[in-house]
Chains A and B, each alone.
Chain A
Amino acid sequence: MAAVPVACTQDRAPAPPTLAESRVRAAWLFLAPLVVLMVLVAGWPLCRTLWFSLTDADLKDLGAARFVGLDNYTGEFGVLRDPDWWRAVGNTLLFAGVSVAIETLLGLVVALVLDADFPGRSVVRAAVLVPWAIPTVVSAKMWAWMLNDQFGVINHVLMTTHLISQPLAWVADPSLALGSVIAVDVWKATPFMALLILAALQMLPTDCYEAARVDGIHPVTVFVRVTLPLIRPALMVAVIFRALDALRVFDLVYVLTSNSRDTMSMSIYARQQLVDFQQVGLGSAAATVLFGTVALCTALAITLGRVRLEGAAG
């Protein structure tokens, strides 16, 4: 690591303390629009969900909701006592863990390829973004059709290349369904990862590499010891936002496998209670527990990934 020049280290001290006060004032001024907008847009919907989770609200007549305390959470019919809920939690954690892990690895590979200089790079970059650019409502249906056992193109290709001898029921077979959903999610979300990692790579100061190359260090070593630590903050943010989405996965699972309990996610459970079953109280409780689960996972990621929230270390 001795070869790494000063500019690459993470020691970035804040501005001189004399200016601190006016800077803080300016900072709050800068933050005002964000705070106002967030409170305006998110304040009411979130408070409302929290409140309804403590009532027996029913979509038939929301005005008649009565306060029932924690009944929706721990009561006889509460979310936490429903085996279906716990199954949805298990499915979601498995789905999110596996798909985010694969997406991160693949995203890194794709970003590194896009970072290299070669003719036709711009075409590749546009091509990579295509999966993310197709509306999920459409791409999920498209995959459902492609994965069809009798007239889907996936089985067609695999059969004609003799990779399989019998058509597989990708989304109907309980042992394949979750895997298929993960595969489609990886296809869809890898561009998101790749693009954010690419931005981080592009913003790296080039002198680190120059120095390392002069020293004749193996590229893989450079990647692991220089690049990876430097892009880690951006990588972690990408992972966190991807995980937030994956833990709340809805459309993809819903279109591919509907309400099947084998693949039901937490969001589908919440939606089923809120919309299909009209139990706004119970559904809000499920949404709140979902929030808690996601918050827990995020806290874990922030701690384990040593994500800095305080900014400069020095």
Chain B
Amino acid sequence: MAWNAACGTAFAALLTIAGVAATSRPAQADTVSIACGAVGQELDVCRKLSDAWARNTGNSVNVVSTPNSTTERLALYQQLLAAGSPDIDVFEIDVIWPGILGSHFIDLAPYTKGAEKDAFPAILENNTRDGKLVAMPIYTDAGLLYYRKDLLERYGEAVPATWEALTTTARKIQDGERRAGQAGLWGIVFQAKAYEGLTCDALEWIASYGGGTVVAPDGKITIDNPRAAQALDMAAGWMKDLAPQGVLNYSEEETRGVFQSGHAVFMRNWPYAWPLSQSEGSPVKGKVGVTVLPAGPAPDGRHAAALGGWQFAVSRYSKHQALAADLVVFMTSKASARQWALQGGYFPAIPALYQDPELLAANPFFKDLLPAFTSAVARPSTATGGKYNQVSDAFWNAVSDTLTGKATAKDSLASLQARLNRLSRGGRW
């Protein structure tokens, strides 16, 4: 395994050297640079697939690894793109970046032959900006509810279908276990650090209560409504006794740490936590269930999961756009999506693949999670365009104020509405 990795690295090094040599001679423009994830599974699959494309087409590919941290990656991309740098042809971008970076990318529609229509509609809509298809989805992600099967069984509780039921169940189990000597057990953990993750979590609560998505697709600001306030009040209620105060600074890994060590009944997290919770040495191995996030109260309640995932886009400063677009089409095709799923466990962005027998054999829980993806709610990144990060920042701060008890949900949402109105100059973005 280590030998394999070393080989891969050496090979990549050779490729890069070849790539640098090639780009210095403009006549021979047949090397495409692609920015994939950092080292790890993602990079491995990326490398294998792009090598296959290179073999098929007789071109070569230079895989550039980028930082694991999303914020650092965005900063690096912005620097390169703002300077009009042709060093990277294909960028791997987060689901919320089409609005922010979209103006630097080419329209992929002329190259895809309609392949984008296979993807989940929410993703397609998310990746289309001003009628331009700026990115093709590689794989998708959605918020999920993890629960302790063993504890639910012991207390005779069903898997909660609504947030109300979740709160009651969590309290019952937490009280019972603490009386039994498990002092460190908490009802629920989630991500509430002042960062993008809190926006995802809070959007799920609010959307499932029927409170909208902060900004509607047409740009109208909708956040100041009673259902949204109700949803936030529910989460603020957890802060009193069901969640440790530390969640206010938790991102994904801290949350997983508490849950996987057996110190929480419920956890909201992304699919990545599943194989890890089932890995060798995990104290909760075999005791974990995973399902769609609960719905809000009737009649407007629904299941809602924040849409995540990564896409490929082609820089408009690229010196060989057609070639780069061809690589993107290849890497995001149905066949490639199967490879991402089989080799890396990534969730395909193409619903048809959730019927694929070979995939289901490898990942049996794919089928159960299809509802999570079909119910996925996109963050308002397309409607707000380049201002999305400002919206998200204002939103997570308002939510944070409610969770810490600095302001009531009603007040903080009202001031958020005012702030967003000012920011968008009256919803015009």
Contacts and interface: CB of A to CB of B under 8 A. Distances in A.
22 contacts: A60-B103, A148-B254, A150-B246, A151-B258, A167-B246, A169-B248, A172-B245, A172-B248, A172-B249, A172-B250, A173-B248, A257-B194, A258-B195, A258-B249, A259-B194, A259-B195, A260-B193, A260-B249, A261-B397, A277-B387, A277-B390, A278-B386
B109 interface: no
A14 to B, nearest CB: 48
B194 A150 contact: no
A238 B392 CA distance: 40
B249 A257 contact: yes
A174 interface: yes
Contacts of B263: 150
B130 to A, nearest CB: 13
Interface of B: 71, 74-75, 78, 82, 100, 103-104, 184, 193-195, 244-250, 254, 257-258, 261, 263, 386-387, 389-390, 393, 396-397, 400, 404
Contacts of A173: 245, 248
Best-buried of B82, B100, B195, B247 by chain A (most CB within 10 Å): B82
A242 B225 CA distance: 48
B386 A172 contact: no
Given A59-B78, A278-B78, A172 B247 contact: yes
A60 B101 CA distance: 7
B393 A276 contact: yes
A260 B194 contact: yes
Contacts of B194: 257-261
A286 to B, nearest CB: 14
B386 A149 contact: no
Nearest to B425: A77
Interface centre among B74, B78, B100, B249 (most CB of A within 10 A): B249
A150 B245 contact: no
Interface string A161-182: 0000001010111100100000
Contacts of B103: 60-61
Contacts of A148: 246, 254, 257
Contacts of B245: 149, 169, 172-173
B74 A275 contact: yes
A-B CB proximity, top 9 nearest: A149-B246, A172-B249, A260-B194, A172-B248, A169-B245, A169-B246, A276-B389, A171-B249, A258-B195
A177 B387 CA distance: 29
A260 B198 CA distance: 11
A258 B194 CA distance: 6
Contact of B244 (A58, A62, A149, A272): A149
Given A59-B78, A261-B397, A276-B389, A150 B249 contact: no
Given A60-B386, A258-B195, A259-B194, A275 B75 contact: yes
Contacts of A278: 78, 100, 386, 389
Interface in A241-284: 257-261, 272, 275-278
A148 B263 CA distance: 14
Name B's interface SS.
Answer: helix
Interface size class of A (residues with CB under 8 A): 20 to 34
Interface of A: 58-62, 148-151, 167, 169, 171-174, 177, 257-261, 272, 275-278
B82 A59 contact: yes
Nearest to B264: A150
B82 A150 contact: no
Contacts of B74: 275-276
A169 B244 contact: yes
Which of B246, B248, B254, B261 is most buried by chain A, counting CB atoms within 10 A of its CB? B246
Contacts of B193: 257-258, 260
Given A151-B258, A258-B195, A260-B194, A272 B393 contact: yes
Nearest to A255: B69
A260 B82 contact: no
Contact of B257 (A150, A174, A276): A150
Contacts of B404: 174
A177 B248 CA distance: 11
Nearest to A147: B249
Nearest to A275: B75
A172 B78 contact: no
Contacts of B184: 150
Contacts of B195: 258-259
Given A169-B248, A261-B194, 11 more contacts: A59-B82, A60-B103, A61-B103, A149-B246, A150-B244, A169-B249, A172-B246, A177-B249, A257-B249, A260-B193, A276-B389
A173 B239 CA distance: 12
B258 A150 contact: yes
A275 B389 CA distance: 10
Nearest to A174: B404
A58 B386 contact: yes
B400 A260 contact: yes
Nearest to B253: A145
A83 to B, nearest CB: 11
Nearest to B385: A60
Nearest to A279: B390
A272 B196 CA distance: 13
A173 B195 CA distance: 16
A272 B387 CA distance: 12
Contact of A275 (B78, B390, B397, B400): B78
A300 B100 CA distance: 41
B134 to A, nearest CB: 13
Most chain A Cβ neighbours within 10 Å, of B244, B245, B247 = B245
Contact of A277 (B71, B244, B261, B389): B389
Contacts of A258: 193-195, 249
A71 to B, nearest CB: 14
Contacts of B246: 148-150, 167, 169, 172
A79 to B, nearest CB: 15
A149 B247 CA distance: 9
Contacts of A62: 82
Nearest to B195: A258
Nearest to B247: A172
Nearest to A152: B246
Nearest to A277: B390
